[in-house]
Amino acid sequence: MKESTIMKIHYGTALASVGLVAVHILMRLTTGFADSLSYENVLANYQSVPYVIMLELILILLAVHGFNGLRVILLELKQGRVYEKAVSYGSMVGMIVLIGYGSRTIIMTNMGMT
Q: Given the rule CB under 8 A, which residues bind other proteins?
A: 2-4, 7-8, 72, 75-79, 84
| Residue 35: CB minimum distance to other proteins, A | 42
When the beta carbons of 56 and 84 are compared against other proteins, the nearer one is 84
Question: Alpha-carbon distance 66 to 72, whole Å?
Answer: 10
How far, CA to CA in Å, does 83 sit from each of 25, 88, 90, 95? 38, 9, 10, 18
| Residue 110: CB minimum distance to other proteins, A | 37
Question: Alpha-carbon distance 101 to 97, whole Å?
Answer: 6
When the beta carbons of 43 and 92 are compared against other proteins, the nearer one is 92
Alpha helices in 29-80 (DSSP H): 33-36, 39-45, 49-77
| Residue 13: CB minimum distance to other proteins, A | 15
When the beta carbons of 8 and 104 are compared against other proteins, the nearer one is 8
